[in-house]
Structure 1
Amino acid sequence: MVLTRFIYPLPASWFLTAMTVISGAASVIAGLMEIKGKSMQYSKFFNTNNKNVEASNTKVIKFSGRNGMILAYAPAFVASAASVAFMQDKGLRFTLVTSALAFHFFKRLFEVIFIHKYSGSMPIDTAIFISAGYFLSSLSLIYSQHLCGEFAEPIVDLKYAGLTIFLVGVVGNFYHHYLLSKLRKEGEKQYKIPRGGLFHLVICPHYLFEILGFVGISCISQTVYGLSFAAGTICYLTGRSFATRKWYLSKFEDFPNDVKALIPYIF
């Protein structure tokens, strides 16, 4: 098979096999749910139909949006940072994968604390669900990389190309998150049409670059789980981008019809 030239074999681990199937399927389902308008409760799209409004009015324990997202990202950051710090003898590829993961979640925490502006809250069960998902996915990728250290390297080495793609994704994602943070002045809560960067081509360039970031990690990893996780991320963020564009079209009469959801000129 051509694919075997690019990736390690799947390790003989029931945990990794299960996580590969579960995480991939869960991301695909989440993407389809976004397209159908059934978003998670922290999303600005959540209150777009009556059923969701009624659900959001029930009494639940909530975090502030900022604290909820800190909880969502912190465990995955700790897991990946600990792997960088305490597993330095696993080879260059392992170090690059864990370092990329640690940097990704460090960037997310930095943005949550210093960049993003929040106007809503997050139910505690939603925060825990997201946190567990990121933590288990990161742990699975790290464990998969550890087990694949026993195999011969793939014939085609993608780790340096992957590192380049990852860095492009990180920089592009951060830049467009920064542009989004500047849309509203202090105290403002109304939404506006984003401007600058690639926002004149797609409404979700930050998702496009986030996908590039995870594709980069997958290329560095070259494991079956890494490929599955990247594919799942693409499915979810594609669905979320579709929902985002639909939301902007419904809220702004002057939203440009030629601005696509995720891929310039195409989708």
Structure 2
Amino acid sequence: MDAVLSTLFYSEGAEIYTLDCMAYFMLFMAACTSVTLLFVNVPYGRYTSSKYGFPVDARVAWFVQEMPAFFVPLCLLLWTTTANTSVLPNQMLIAMYFCHYFQRSLIYPFLIKGGKPTPFASFALAFVFCIYNGYMQIRYLSHYAEYPEYWVTHPCFLTGSVLWLVGWLMNVHSDHILRNLRKPGETGYKIPTGGMFEYVSGANFLGEITEWVGFALAGHSIHSLAFAIFTTVVLSSRAVSHHKWYLTKFENYPRSRKALIPFLF
């Protein structure tokens, strides 16, 4: 892959410039997406519409669309020169990224019970995003990110790492609750309870947002920040949509429960 990258970029300076541009473009897309989501819901799950393309089986869609987020970075680590993977901060940040996407791409899809099909447009956009972001995050961390030796004891890194772990555990636990809402043979929607669902409607979304905000704080780069902001924009919109839907669907839905941030929002 070094030969491919050297063909695409005439120097390391050109590649890092490209990585920076990719991050700023992601920030731009986050701004555009935040405006768009004021008027439409992300077309997936209960908001699926045929106008966004033919349906893709939920398990297949999740597995295929998330795969590049794991395997593109893996290829970068195995088949390119990785100048900074021997440095502890880089190793830990790369491990955070892979821990999330190992679970998300190789475990989560096979745990899905039923699940509404995903429109092809949503599936295709997610697939492209995972390639784009996977390359941007891991190429920067493995080859260009430089941290001082003391960075692993810096308050930003320590706080970010704790946030990442708390968010990851919250995300995995919330997904477990959602998968087990219905008993065998039951159909229809139910009110999720337990864990952070006692406080917010989008506990799984809050978990993932917390993960990547922690990752951005620990990583201290425009690349990780752009990912955290884009994730926050998309998932906060989903949380608000779910909250409104629950309030409309269930008369007995807990009125004290917020959409995304406990006690506040």
Q: Same fold (TM over 0.5)?
A: yes
Structure 1 stretch 64-73 or stretch 119-128: which is displaced more? 119-128
Instruction: Show the counterpart of 1:233.
Output: 231
Instruction: Show the counterpart of 2:119.
Output: 123
Give 1:95-244 correspondences, 5 Å limit.
95-109=91-105, 110-114=107-111, 116-146=112-142, 148-149=144-145, 156=154, 158-244=156-242
Tell me if 1:42 matches 2:44. yes
1:141 deviates by 1.4
Aligned in 2, Cα 1:80/1:216: closer, same or farther, shift over 3 Å?
Answer: farther
Instruction: Determine the C-alpha separation between the residues in 2 that align with 1:205 and 1:130.
Output: 21
Deviating above 6 A after TM superposition, structure 1's stretches of 4 or more consecutive aligned residues are none
Instruction: Show the counterpart of 2:57.
Output: 64
- Which amino acid is 2:41 matched to? S
1:259 deviates by 0.8
Structure 1 stretch 218-227 or stretch 155-164: which is displaced more? 155-164
Instruction: Determine the C-alpha separation between the residues in 2 that align with 1:81 and 1:189.
Output: 39
Instruction: Show the counterpart of 2:5.
Output: none
Instruction: Show the counterpart of 2:30.
Output: 27
- Which amino acid is 2:23 matched to? T
1:257 deviates by 1.9
8 A Cα contact 2:85 2:142, kept in partner: no
| TM-score normalised per structure 1 | 0.81
Aligned in 2, Cα 1:150/1:264: closer, same or farther, shift over 3 Å?
Answer: closer
1:101 deviates by 1.2
Instruction: Determine the C-alpha separation between the residues in 2 that align with 1:245 and 1:108.
Output: 24
Instruction: Show the counterpart of 1:247.
Output: 245
Instruction: Determine the C-alpha separation between the residues in 1 that align with 2:29 and 2:145.
Output: 27
Equivalenced residue count is: 246
Instruction: Determine the C-alpha separation between the residues in 2 that align with 1:153 and 1:222.
Output: 15
Aligned in 2, Cα 1:153/1:229: closer, same or farther, shift over 3 Å?
Answer: farther
8 A Cα contact 1:158 1:219, kept in partner: yes
Instruction: Show the counterpart of 2:261.
Output: 263
1:35 deviates by 3.8
1:96 deviates by 1.6
- List runs of 5+ in structure 2 lacking aligned partners: 1-12
More RCO (CA 8 Å, sep 6+): 1
- List runs of 5+ in structure 1 lacking aligned partners: 1-10, 47-51
What is the percent sequence identity of the aligned residues? 25
